[in-house]
Amino acid sequence: MKKILISGGIIAAVAAIIIGGTVAYFSDTETSEGNTLVAGTLDLVVDIDGNIQNPLEDPIFNSSDIKPGDSGEKTLSLHVDNDACGYVEVILTDDNENDCTEPEMDAESDCVPQGDGELNDNIIWTLWDDEGDQSGWQCGETPACGNDPKEGNNELDGEYENVLLSGNLNQDFSEPFGELPASNVLYYGISWSLPGTVGNEVQSDSLTARLVIKAEQKRNQYPTGCPGSLLTLENKDSQWVITGGDGINGVMRFNPAGSTFDFSFAGTAPEKGVNYSLIYYKNDWPGNGSLLLGSGMSDPSTGAVSFNGSVDLGTDLPAAGDPNSGAKIWLVLSNDFSVSEMTGWNPDKYLFETQLIQYDDTDN
């Protein structure tokens, strides 16, 4: 019995040694300290003719005794601290007749002082990107700089300046600015004018409007690009170099994602009084699989051409099989395009994209 007990003790000791060995695994510990998450910011700062307004509370315009032929302009510069998508709204809040003078009664027999005025129907508002003679923004905090003297100069006179809004304020306006990159200062001009052809019907009338400028977070919300993205089309020489400086160009604004390709186009075509087609050109020649976006006739006197559309393309851009990383957009003579490919080639009469674009057809 004693031998058995001793043997049992030995077994227990051995077991203890074995158990002690099994808990001594190799180990190593690394510690990361100070893990912190901080929300970013999106602050839109508006500068009016060099005066920062943050928040924007004061009226941009406050004019009285307006007469036909009068006008006013301001330059807005927009600053954001994170990449954003911009929007502008102009909302009519008051439209008053105020009084009915004798000359106004002669011009407007149904005038009543408590009624709506006609000033908003006749005054013309214009909003444009004051981009100057070079594509993009060159000047930073110093408008009309040496790199581009027309950028931010509060005149609609530059090669790359595009009208965003223009018209009477008989309806509310809403328009996307497109991209608001944090790395740049963006200049926009805003003006009003009362044409000299307007008569006594606007005497004593008044209007009040609200201007809303909004910036929305781009990252995660608009991964394919901001609504109202902008593409400039230019005429190019035989080496595909932009000719420029001749006022012959166009601008397409478009939404880079959606169930339909929504766009507007406005510009000056090389040829006057002819039909033009805006197309997506799919490489290679003759572009089999290209798509028609819209068409319009250039003005016989000025060559101005404009149209818009909402087209169910049934595909992303660029389409499958296109070797390019983005889509080519061309304005071509309608007679040189048929259904889905080019049938003629007159490049001196066309406008070509200045960069490739992408479009996500969300229901395809």
Listing DSSP states for 98-131 in one string gives ----HHHHHH-TT--TTS--SHHHH-EEEEEE--
Mean pLDDT by groups of 10 residues along the chain of 364 residues: 43 44 70 69 77 80 89 88 87 87 87 88 86 82 88 82 76 77 86 90 89 87 77 84 76 86 89 96 95 95 89 94 93 96 96 88 86
pLDDT in the model for residue 3: 45
pLDDT given for residue 245 in this prediction: 62
- Residues whose CB is less than 8 angstroms from the CB of residue 218 and which lie 6 or more positions away in sequence, other chains included: 82, 83, 84, 85, 179, 180, 226
Q: What pLDDT, on a 0 to 100 scale, did the predictor assign at position 5?
A: 41
Q: Which CATH class is domain 229-361?
A: mainly beta
Nearest residue to 47 via CA among 261, 213, 277, 224: 213
Beta bridge partners of 291: 280
| pLDDT at res. 175 | 76
